[in-house]
Amino acid sequence: MELNKSDNRGNWSSKLGFILAAAGSAIGLGNIWAYPSKVADNGGAAFILIYVLCCFLVGYPIMVSELAIGRKTGKSPFGAFRSFGAPKFFGIVGLWGILCGFMILSFYNVVAGWTLSYVFEEIFFFAGNADLANWFGDLGNGHKNAVFSIIFMFLTIGIITGGVAEGIEKATKIMMPALLAILLFMIAFVFTQDGASEGLIYYIKPDFSKITFDLFFKAMGQAFFSLSLGMGTLITYGSYLNKKANIPQAAFYVTMADLSIAFLAGLLIIPAMFVAQSSGVTIFDEAGNLIASTTLVFNALPNLFHSMHPLLGLFSGVLFFLLLSMAALTSTISLLEVPVSYVIDEFKVKRKVAAYIIGFAILSVSLAIAYNLNLIDLFSTIFNDIGLPLGGFMISIFLVYVWKTNNALIELNNGYDGIDSSFFGKLWPFMVKYISPVLIGIVFFQTIYSLIR
């Protein structure tokens, strides 16, 4: 039975457009900064090896599952689960994913605003206006946080109102190549600085003594979160795919794009840390542990730029924080699209109206967070650390026990003729039945244990 799709929801105009949009959803501040910080703190290339394995053992099978569910139904997570006649419980799972995306965006929008405010911090620092530079660079300034949260939300809403092909797809076709170009330029520049070679060795030399269960859990969590799994983003993006799309191939490209940008971010950030350290900036504490990533992005690196020749420092600082802003924006648009798609599907509201209603609702929460940054840790724990693994686990349970992997393979055969007899067709059902849900469950319960012990 072919489930009905709404004709006015929109569709991707090309395979490349979908891959760039899905990769943009995955590539955000986490890839540009959280990944390099975790690599630096967990054995360098040893962490990278485990992270890559986790992306393919856990992330890739679940990504294929989410995209298949979305394309089959042509609906947002809530409507997708209900379309199969599944128990009402799974409708709640869909709503939970939407809520997680809503709440994650509420604090992510504040952090994204910081990246944009630091573009101005760099400009005014090199213009010699210390007061304005300090105002734009003060992360605890509630008024400043609110202003840039509003700006970033309007940027996000503006792209979402353009629709799937003319809004999300067109924007990511520009931003993703630009992000890659800036990354490559910054890497080339940092490699010419004193201390960069030491950072490169630190990055690519594995310390296998640090491979522990704890490292495995960290790599698993980073892989899961960096690929935008568990909150319904990829179900929503999958709902805009046509039947000719080869979902396993597209998911592979998205996974590889995510890994590639993360690796390049490490090539930039970790050598840059050591360059900053060689100029007197504190990178490690007395015990030899990496200091907080927030401090490193918004303190250590600006100090590095400030120590350069004025023109070079201005150019590098502005370029770096524009890079972070673009990385953040590719994620905020995907986070907003999930609840917007839900409102369009379930309440038959026009896209522009839905985008402004949901955008303003999220912004109201962001403004509260802007004046009370302690809420970031609380919301991140509930909706990111706990909510996403729970959502991903339930998606795998739904596919295996409600939709069934055989039925899912029939859907995946569209765009991949002969999938049943292929290596993928034989391996993927085993992975999604046994490997992925077990590993996700381990990460979930480990997270809960670490919070209550």
DSSP string, 160-185: HTT-IIIIIIHHHHHHHHHHHHHHHH
Q: Are 391 and 96 in contact (CB under 8 A)?
A: yes
Give me the pLDDT at residue 9, please: 60
Give me the pLDDT at residue 292, please: 60
Give me the pLDDT at residue 4, please: 44
CB atoms within 10 A of CB 205: 11
Split at pLDDT 50, 70, 90, the class of 324 is confident
Number of domains in the chain: 1
Q: Is residue 6 domain-resident?
A: no
The lowest-confidence range among 130-134, 151-155, 168-172 is 168-172
Task: For residue range 381-411, list pLDDT tens digits in order.
Answer: 899 888 888 888 999 999 999 999 999 999 9
Give me the pLDDT at residue 245, please: 93
Q: Which two tokens stand for residue 416?
A: 């991949």
Q: Is residue 137 domain-resident?
A: yes
d(CA 101, CA 332): 10
Q: What percent of the chain has pLDDT over 70?
A: 95
Calculate the average pLDDT of the chain: 88
* Res 3 pLDDT > 60: no
CATH number at 208 reads 1.10.4160.10
Query: From residue 312, how far is each of 5, 123, 178, 308, 318 by CA, in Å?
Result: 52, 12, 20, 6, 10
Q: Which residue has the higher pLDDT, 102 or 164?
A: 102
Q: Is residue 224 domain-resident?
A: yes
Q: Are 57 and 229 in contact (CB under 8 A)?
A: no
Q: Is residue 5 domain-resident?
A: no
pTM beyond 0.75: yes
Burial profile 123-143: b = 16 or more Cβ within 10 angstroms, e = fewer: bbbbeeeeeebebbbebebee
Split at pLDDT 50, 70, 90, the class of 20 is confident
* Res 295 pLDDT > 70: no
Give me the pLDDT at residue 226, please: 80
Range of the domain at 106: 15-452
Closest CA to 22 of 168, 162, 158, 153: 168
Q: Is residue 7 domain-resident?
A: no
The residue count of the chain comes to 453
Task: For residue range 60-106, list pLDDT tens digits in order.
Answer: 999 999 999 999 999 999 999 988 887 888 889 999 999 999 999 99
Q: Is residue 239 domain-resident?
A: yes
d(CA 185, CA 340): 36
Q: Which residue has the tokens 């504490």?
A: 285
Rounded (5°) CA angle 142-146-152: 140
CA 262, distance to chain mean position in Å, is 11
Tell me which amino acid residue 415 is: G
d(CA 95, CA 61): 22
State the maximum Cα–Cα separation within the chain, in Å, rounded to a whole number.
67
d(CA 232, CA 95): 9
Split at pLDDT 50, 70, 90, the class of 1 is very low
Q: Is residue 3 domain-resident?
A: no
Tell me which amino acid residue 245 is: A
Q: Is residue 365 domain-resident?
A: yes
Q: Are 221 and 439 in contact (CB under 8 A)?
A: no
